Every structure is written in C-alpha cells, then in structure tokens.
Amino acid sequence: MKRRITPYMFMLPGLVAIGAVTLIPVLTSIYFAFTNYSTKHLFDYEFVWFNNFKRILFGIDQSNFLTVLSWTLVWTVITTLLDFVVGLVLAILLNNPTLKERNLYRTILIYPWALPATLTVMVWAGLLNSSFGPVNQLLAAFNISTIPWLTDPFWARLSCIIVNLWLAYPYQMSVCLGALQSIDPTLNEAAAIDGATKWQIFHRITMPLLRSATLPLLVISFAANFSGFGVIYLLTGGGPITSIDPRAPGATDLLSTWMYKLVMGDVSKLYGVASAIGIIIFIFVGGLTLINSFMTGAFRQVKE
C-alpha cells in the first residue's frame, strides 16, 4: 500500500502549486464572468449570468470588441505566418552543408531567443522612440523624415509585428532546422540524380516531410499570438489612444491587453466584463490546443 501511495505523495506538492497558480484564477474568472462585479459593486455584486457576454457581443461594447477582435486576428495571422516563413528560410540556409561558419551564424541568429523577452521589448521601445530613439536619429542624419513608430496607429502596429518577429523567429528557426536535419539526405540526392530541380525537391520531398513537425508548431504559434500580451503591453501599452472613452481600446490593443485595461485602466474596474473576455480567449485557445492534440495524435497515443 505504501509503495502505491508514495509516488502520489511526491506529486502532491506540484499538483497543489499548479492548482493554486492556475486552477484557482481560472475558476475565479469563470465565476466573475457571470456577475456584475466591479468598483461600483464590490460587496453587493450579483449574478447577471450571460449579460456580460451579451454586452460584449451585442451590447454597448460590441463595436470595441469587434475592432479589437479584427486586429487580434490580423495580428495573429500575420505574426504566425511571418515568423514561420522567416524561421524556415533561415533554417534552410543554415542546413546548407556548403555554408561556411554555419555554427557561428546559428549562434548569432539564436541570440534574440537567449535574452529575456521583457528586456528585449523595452530596448526596442527605446530604439523606436519618436523623440530620442536612435532609429529616428539615424534617419535624420541622412535627411530622411522621422517616423512616428509608436505614436501613429499604422506604424505602431508595424513596430509590434517587427518586434514580435525579432523575438519569435529563433524558435521557429530551431524547430525547422531540427526537422530539416532529420530528413535523410539520400532522398534529395536521389531526386537530384533523377533530374529534379531544387524547387521540385523542396516542394515534393522537403515540405511534405516537414509537415508533421511544422503543422503543430503553426497551431501552437497561432494560439500563443492570439493570446499574446507582453509585446503589445511593453512596447505601446495598447496605444496610441484613438478615443476619449476609457473603455475604448487603443490602436494596437489585443483582446488580452484590452481585457487588462478594463480591470486596471477603467475607473469602474469591470472585472465581470474582463472575465467574460478572458473566457472567450480561453475557448479559442483551448479549441486550438485540442486541434493540435488531434493533429499530433496525442489522444491516440494515450489510448494505446
């Protein structure tokens, strides 16, 4: 009996920690999502059931929600595809056996991944500062008009995409490079002998063999970018602001940063509405996680 219980006793502290850090906040958010809990109703809040969701999807916050959702989807698609394409291209270049100093290039290219993301984004915020940023100073030195990187809606969004690419491409590159190196080189050699071009080899042999490794990577990246927070919050704070309404999102706000603003920025502290947005994000990301599990055969492996 002791032998059966002992493993579970060792697991218990970890399970308690996971429950305290993850499960309790999730359950609390679900609870508040169905209430009108806010600064105005700290002690007299009551259940409003699906009213918060109706408010977001069909009520006074519908316009804000659709605006943020559309930008979140655009951001997610662009960053996911751009990060993957850049990572794949770099992986293909590094996988070339004729490339000299491949290890040196690999070390340099993976460097952004080695630095803390928070520090990196803050450095980028300084570099792109419209007033004293080195990037604009360099443009001015060549008599080129300075660019409002973080104060104009278009340029702020572009800046966020660039910084996210800087942070994400090393991981994509590493996964793609590992997948490329696992492909038997004799397949490419045999195809070349048969007269296949480099594009035909890549299209007919390399990409199909990469699909099993890269498809789950794309799904995971899509989910991570959809629920992303750090780059937007640290670089632009969700701005620039385009409305005087305290509930209105900024030009670069994603669902996650807008949810944060409703709790921390709005005077009313709309915990209930923010929790409802959190559930919407959770459902979307959870759905993508399930899709990824089915695609990778995780459930089939557990069943077997």
Domains of the chain: 49-303 (1.10.3720.10)
**259 closest CA partner among 33, 23, 31, 54:** 33
- Does 249 have pLDDT greater than 60? yes
192-232 confidence digits (pLDDT tens)? 888 888 888 888 888 888 887 788 888 889 989 998 899 99
Q: Are the C-beta atoms of residues 268 and 55 closer than 8 Å to each other?
A: no
pLDDT digits (tens, 9 = 90+) for 100-145: 888 899 989 998 988 999 999 999 999 999 888 999 999 999 999 9
Which ranges in 110-254 belong to alpha helices (H)? 111-114, 117-127, 134-141, 153-181, 185-193, 198-201, 207-226, 230-235
The residue behind tokens 């219980």 is 5
Structure tokens at 265: 């920025």
The pLDDT of residue 166 is above 90 = yes
For 69-83, what is each residue's pLDDT tens digit? 999 999 999 999 999
Cβ atoms 250, 242 nearer than 8 A: yes
Q: Which residue type is seen at 105?
A: Y
Instruction: Supply the pLDDT for residue 40.
Output: 83
pTM score, whole prediction? 0.88
Structure tokens at 160: 């966020």
**Residue 133: strand, helix, or coil:** coil
Give the C-alpha distances (Å, rounded to integers) separating 154 from 71, 106, 161, 252, 266: 12, 33, 11, 9, 25
